[in-house]
Amino acid sequence: MTTDRIAKMAQKYMERDMIGKHTELPPYPEVRTQLLNCFLNETDMQDQHLLALAVSLAQLGLDTHDIVEASDSGEKLGQARSRQMKVLAGDYFNGLFYQLLSGANRIDVVRFVTKAICEVNHLKMSLYEKLGQLKLTADEYLEQMVTIKSKLYLSFTTFIPSSYADRFPELLRSVTRFEVLNQELERSQSGDIRHGYAYLCMMQSASLDDREKAQYTDKAGLKALLHKYKTYGAISDMLQTQLGLIKQLIAPFESVWLKAEISRMLEPFVLTITVPKVAEEI
């Protein structure tokens, strides 16, 4: 069973009629799931694929709750239904995590992943509070997002073979950092800008006048400021640097299969670092 097949297994849970009809879901955490499954494959565990599937659904549940919009008294019926469906979908994915692992009698995994979920929720509360007050630098935001997105997967370190146990956390955080940067870049280019990584980067470089303007302007105005301060290009450069670091981390691995699988996993990443993202600002 390949990790791609695990993503397909998750897809059958994600493609429920009510979810597809009334709302959209966040991206499935395929890369982190791929990485975890690669390392679990180096063990003699019999249920590694189930564990990878279950934790990916738990992560998807958290990510789905993250995109629930705030209630608005003037919202239309479709908007209210979409918001409610996101809440229910997030609960549904979390419930699947418990169902799958309880059915496989892996209560041990339920315990430590549940603890990680509680820690993630606490971290998110702190992050949102600081973001609302603009008390975070861009780098602080990035590293907190990496911690939030990697914590559930890091809780499996105890299962990683001893020869890789000290390298798995660093590699996972590096892969997650690349993933977060890429998503932040795509998010800002689509117009969802305010208080994201790109926005914080721009605010750190902008003049006082432009910082004040950024707090009140519309999406088009914000995108113009991001272009003015070459924020997209800076993030694309960071993606290139992070990809090089990931390759350095896997170079010493003894397992030829593990290196090959992780390299294959990185191929879609390489394709996302395209010239047009940077060329827009030249």
Query: For the chain, what is the mean pLDDT?
Result: 86
The phi, psi pair for 92, rounded to 5°, reads: -65, -45
Burial of 269 (C-beta count, 10 Å sphere; 0-12/13-18/19+) = middle
156 near 51, Cβ under 8 Å? Answer: yes
Q: Strand, coil or helix: what is 98?
A: helix
Identify the pLDDT of residue 224: 92
Identify the pLDDT of residue 274: 52
Identify the pLDDT of residue 279: 45
Q: How far apart are CA 163 and CA 159, in angstroms?
A: 11
Identify the pLDDT of residue 1: 44
Identify the pLDDT of residue 78: 60
pLDDT at 228 over 90: yes
Length of the chain: 282
Per-residue pLDDT, averaged over 211-240, amounts to 90
Identify the pLDDT of residue 268: 77
- CATH number listed for the domain at residues 1-161: 1.20.120.1450
- Reported as a single tens digit per residue, the pLDDT across 20-40 is 676 788 889 999 999 999 999
Domain boundary assignment for the chain: 1-161, 166-282
DSSP tag of 76: -
DSSP tag of 273: S
Amino acid at 83: R
- Reported as a single tens digit per residue, the pLDDT across 68-103 is 766 554 555 566 677 677 888 889 999 999 999 999
pLDDT at 2 over 50: no
Identify the pLDDT of residue 120: 96
Share of the chain above pLDDT 90, in %: 55
- Reported as a single tens digit per residue, the pLDDT across 139-196 is 999 999 999 999 999 999 999 999 898 999 999 999 999 999 988 888 887 777 777 8
Q: How far apart are CA 79 and CA 69, in angstroms?
A: 9
Identify the pLDDT of residue 145: 95
pLDDT at 269 over 80: no
Of 22-26, 204-208, 214-218, give the lowest mean pLDDT range.
22-26
Buried b (16+ CB within 10 A) or exposed e, 45-54: eebbbbbbbb
Q: How far apart are CA 228 and CA 134, in angstroms?
A: 21
CA dihedral 108, 112, 115, 119 (to 10 degrees): -170
**Which H or E run includes 259?**
helix 256-272
Q: How far apart are CA 97 and CA 119, in angstroms?
A: 17
Nearest to 36 by CA among 15, 63, 58, 14: 58
Q: How far apart are CA 246 and CA 241, in angstroms?
A: 9
Q: How far apart are CA 131 and CA 141, in angstroms?
A: 8
